[in-house]
Amino acid sequence: MENNTHISSESNTPVDTQQYHKKRSRNGSVVARALFGIVFGFIGGVMAFSILPYVKNYAQNPFIRKIFHQTSDQNIKATNDINTVVSTAEDTTVINTVEKASPAVVSVVISQDVPKLQSAFGSPFEFPFFMMPQDNQNNGSSDQAPTQKQTIGQGSGFLVSADGLIVTNKHVVSSKTADYTIIGSDGKKYSAKVLARDPNRDIALIKIDAKDLPYLQLGNSDDVKVGQTVVAIGNSLGEFSNTVSKGIISGLKRNLVAGSDFGGSERLSDIIQTDAAINPGNSGGPLLDVSGNVIGVNVAMAQGAQSIGFALPANQIKKIIDQVQSTGKITTAFLGVRYIILTPDMQKEQSLPLDHGALILRGDKMTDFAVIPGSPADKAGLVENDIITEIDNTAIDSDHQIADLVADHKPGDVLSLTVWHKGETKTISVTLEERK
């Protein structure tokens, strides 16, 4: 029998001759494929060269141009279809939010006895709060002057319970002699009673006698992000009830002083800025996220600007609602000092020892005490010309004022104050008390 096994001269390793012939066969096929590729590559090159003029001038060839344009049109159509789907989904979300929230948004109408010839309204476009303006409470009329009940202002509000509890702004229901009427989204009218006005924030709670009413849920305003979509609903210009506008959150934790043409002003801290269109009459209306939760209460607008509005964060409202529902009133803490925030310029002008903190200082009137007698500040030994530099390790400045920090606490809480007193710095503990 013939031996099919050979010895490799390099390695003394047996080599199978059948495998050897298979390798030779594969090597041959590789050569054949290489020759095949060269031939057809040459033919392809000749063809490509010959049709190059036609490719360069494809725009003159209706067949090629038609295929090209069909492909482009299909891409454009696909992009437009995607944009349409996204836009439709966003519109649907906003529509659902509005349909869910609108039944719980109300108009607040303020009426009062005024002289018959007296105008009830000022210019709404000069009023930075989002309500139609009220007249001065002291209208100068005598007992003999003929009067009549007139609408002197309008604002907005929203229900937060099925039994008729309504949130609005304090400046909407500031008059203690006016009558307040609530008009629901269905046109029904209710007489309203003011339950509580927050002395620290521009919030009030009013009540109507009704049951099984639609109401809104308060969301977590700490989760709000700049750029997210929001919806505002309110009684714009006191004429267009349940007006809807859409925008975004433009900024967070803004601090400002809002006032009216009638002399009142109030500091607003840590509030939300939005570009959703808001007008006089929107005061007290809700600012909603796309889930229909209240994230803010519309409160003020910037004069001489477009699309710059502000809302009180919902988290500032929650504890007020809880207090009123459980106790029937708003309980707030107070320290009992009058102060101004120091700046480097003030230090130079007044030769003060510090350029920061809150200088305890009396007001213009004799009754404007620097430290209220019998107050927590008085009991802790604070006096005029003391400078409070920190409260619970938070430095006092224009963005962190004493009133803001005290408002975050309740009566009975103990604060640690860092105070500059007659040339030395010391720490004082103060127990807050309820504002009477």
Task: Specify if 140 maps to a domain.
Answer: no
Length of the chain: 436
Task: Specify if 343 maps to a domain.
Answer: yes
pLDDT band with cut points at 50, 70 and 90 for residue 11? very low
Region 218-244: mean pLDDT is 91
Same domain, 24 and 157: no
pLDDT band with cut points at 50, 70 and 90 for residue 84? low
Task: Evaluate if residue 86 carries a pLDDT over 50.
Answer: yes
Same domain, 255 and 118: yes
Task: Specify if 399 maps to a domain.
Answer: yes
pLDDT digits (tens, 9 = 90+) for 324-383: 998 888 888 999 999 999 999 999 998 899 999 999 999 888 888 999 999 999 999 999
State the Cα–Cα distance between residues 218 and 322, nearest whole angstrom: 12
pLDDT-wise least confident of 102-111, 126-135, 412-421:
126-135
Same domain, 127 and 23: no
Residue whose C-alpha is closest to residue 180's, from 162, 199, 207: 207
State the Cα–Cα distance between residues 156 and 131, nearest whole angstrom: 8
Task: Specify if 238 maps to a domain.
Answer: yes
E strand residue ranges, 129-228:
147-159, 165-168, 179-183, 189-197, 204-208
Provide the percentage of residues in the chain whose pLDDT is more than 90: 49
Task: Specify if 89 maps to a domain.
Answer: no
Same domain, 277 and 386: no
Task: Specify if 361 maps to a domain.
Answer: yes
pLDDT band with cut points at 50, 70 and 90 for residue 289? very high
Same domain, 353 and 324: no
pLDDT band with cut points at 50, 70 and 90 for residue 302? confident
pLDDT-wise least confident of 11-15, 276-280, 299-303, 388-392:
11-15
Provide the percentage of residues in the chain whose pLDDT is more than 70: 71
Same domain, 207 and 230: yes
Interstrand relation of 147-159 and 394-395 (parallel, antiparallel or unpaired):
unpaired
The residue out of 294, 328, 362 marking a domain boundary is 328
pLDDT value of residue 433: 94
What does each C-alpha distance from 216 to 102, 165, 168, 211, 225 come to in angstroms? 9, 11, 13, 15, 21
Indicate which CATH number applies to the domain containing 252. 2.40.10.120
Same domain, 281 and 164: yes
Average pLDDT, the chain: 79
pLDDT digits (tens, 9 = 90+) for 189-220: 999 999 999 988 899 999 999 999 999 999 99
Q: How many domains does the chain have?
A: 3
Task: Evaluate if residue 434 carries a pLDDT over 80.
Answer: yes
Task: Specify if 226 maps to a domain.
Answer: yes
Instruction: Map 33-90 to HEC letters.
Output: HHHHHHHHHHHHHHHHHHHHHHHHCHHHCHHHHHHHHHHHHHHHHHHHHHHHHHHHHH
Region 117-125: mean pLDDT is 42
DSSP label at residue 407:
H
Indicate which CATH number applies to the domain containing 354. 2.30.42.10
Same domain, 115 and 164: yes
Residue whose C-alpha is closest to residue 108's, from 193, 31, 224, 28: 193
pTM higher than the cut 0.75: no
Task: Evaluate if residue 115 carries a pLDDT over 80.
Answer: no
State the Cα–Cα distance between residues 133 and 147, nearest whole angstrom: 19
Same domain, 22 and 112: no
Radius of gyration of the CA atoms of the chain, in A: 38
Same domain, 391 and 306: no
- Known catalytic residues are 171, 202, 283
Domain that holds residue 385: 333-434
pLDDT value of residue 150: 84
Task: Specify if 76 maps to a domain.
Answer: no
pLDDT-wise least confident of 49-58, 236-245, 301-310:
49-58
Same domain, 338 and 290: no
Same domain, 304 and 339: no
Residue whose C-alpha is closest to residue 272's, from 241, 295, 246: 295
Task: Evaluate if residue 2 carries a pLDDT over 60.
Answer: no
pLDDT band with cut points at 50, 70 and 90 for residue 90? confident
What does each C-alpha distance from 212 to 19, 100, 219 come to in angstroms? 91, 15, 21
State the Cα–Cα distance between residues 337 and 374, nearest whole angstrom: 11
pLDDT digits (tens, 9 = 90+) for 17-76: 344 344 444 444 544 555 555 555 555 554 545 554 544 454 455 555 555 556 666 666
